[in-house]
Amino acid sequence: MLKGKSAIITGGVRGIGRAIAEAFCRNGADVLLCYRSNDAAAEKTQDELAQYGTKVEILKGDVADPEFATEAIAKAKENFGKIDILVNNAGITKDKLLIQMKGDDFDSVVDTNLKGSFYFLKAASSVMIKQRAGSIINLSSVVGVKGNPGQVNYAASKAGVIGMTMAAAKELGRRNVRVNAIAPGFIETDMTDELNDSQKAKMNEVISLGRMGSPEDVANLALFLASDMSAYITAQTICIDGGMSI
């Protein structure tokens, strides 16, 4: 599905980002995986994905730094010659009740989740516009659609991603650059592994399918949006939540 294509994936060495990276490599794409701090996970992921025979590059940095986006674009162009796909996946949480949340708690989440996505969106767009082709996939969340107690900062950042996705899609569509968002619900990750069985059961009660999703579920959707199979889809936010948001 992605043979001959190249992708940049932020937050690409663990969780959902790691699953997306594997799906892309398995389907023929070269990938640049951006990560912030976990060198061991980055090197392990790079080694494991080598089995698919595509190029796998890694780059360490903070997406909240606008210079990192510039560096990533340059590295991808140097190694792959072009950039077909961008996945803005990197994100953080700093959950607190509204009355306990400090300005720094709000700003740091917005800086990473929203502004970080903006920096990479802008940098990748400059390349894709010249190519007159590209697919940009921004990771939002159902929290950005519905809100959630204790996550005012996270909800604001992910709602911002949705608005940014729609606006960018309207700007870039004439240049054959598509921009879509994925809004996951409860997905099995390192964070959910810390929940006990009772907590997981309560979460599953609000999901129509009765289970949490897997990173691979999200990766399959990202693969579709990155491929030519979705060539007429842009400006969309697709919830992948097992029916939680009904």
Q: How confident is the model at residue 188 (pLDDT cuts 50, 70, 90)?
A: very high
Locate tokens 């516009």: which residue?
Answer: 129
232 annotated as a binding-site residue: no
pLDDT exceeds cutoff 90 at 84: yes
Helix (H, G, I), strand (E, B) or coil at 227: coil
pLDDT recorded at residue 191: 67
Give the residue-averaged pLDDT of 147-166. Answer: 97
pLDDT in tens, 90-134: 999 999 999 999 999 999 999 999 999 999 999 999 999 999 999
Residue 232 — φ and ψ, nearest 5°?
-110, 20
- Strand intervals (E) in the chain: 6-10, 30-35, 56-60, 85-88, 134-139, 177-184, 237-240
Residue 128, domain CATH: 3.40.50.720
Q: Is 52 a catalytic residue?
A: no
Give the residue-averaged pLDDT of 55-77. Answer: 98
- The answer as to whether 220 is a domain residue is yes
pLDDT exceeds cutoff 70 at 203: yes
12 annotated as a binding-site residue: yes
| Average pLDDT of the chain to the nearest whole number | 96
- The answer as to whether 72 is a domain residue is yes
The helix (run of H) or strand (run of E) holding residue 13 is none
- The answer as to whether 244 is a domain residue is no
- The answer as to whether 246 is a domain residue is no
* CA 82 to each of CA 77, 88, 106, 188: distance values in angstroms, whole numbers, following the listed order: 5, 17, 35, 33
- The answer as to whether 176 is a domain residue is yes
Give the orientation angle of helix 152-172 with respect to helix 103-110, to 10 degrees: 30
* Residue of 35, 52, 154, 232 with catalytic role: 154
156 annotated as a binding-site residue: yes
pTM, whole model, 2 decimals? 0.96
pLDDT recorded at residue 61: 98
pLDDT exceeds cutoff 70 at 79: yes
pLDDT recorded at residue 112: 98
157 annotated as a binding-site residue: yes
14 annotated as a binding-site residue: yes
17 annotated as a binding-site residue: no
> What is the distance between the alpha carbons of residues 18 and 52, in angstroms, rounded to a whole number?
14
pLDDT recorded at residue 69: 99
The 3-state DSSP composition of the chain as helix, strand, coil percent (nearest 5) reads: 55, 15, 30
Burial of 117-131, coded b for 16+ CB within 10 Å and e otherwise, reads: bbbbbebbbebbbee
Residue 68: which of 15, 129, 124 has the closest Cα? Answer: 124
- The answer as to whether 245 is a domain residue is no
Residues 6+ apart with CB under 8 A from 59: 32, 33, 34, 35, 71, 72, 75
User: What's the chain's Rg over C-alpha atoms?
Assistant: 17
Residues of the chain with pLDDT > 70, as a percent, come to 100
231 annotated as a binding-site residue: no
For residue 57, the enclosing domain spans 6-239
117 annotated as a binding-site residue: no
- The answer as to whether 106 is a domain residue is yes
Query: How many CB atoms are located within 10 Å of the residue 44 CB?
Result: 14
Indicate the number of domains in the chain.
1
Structure tokens at 200: 């997981």
- The answer as to whether 92 is a domain residue is yes
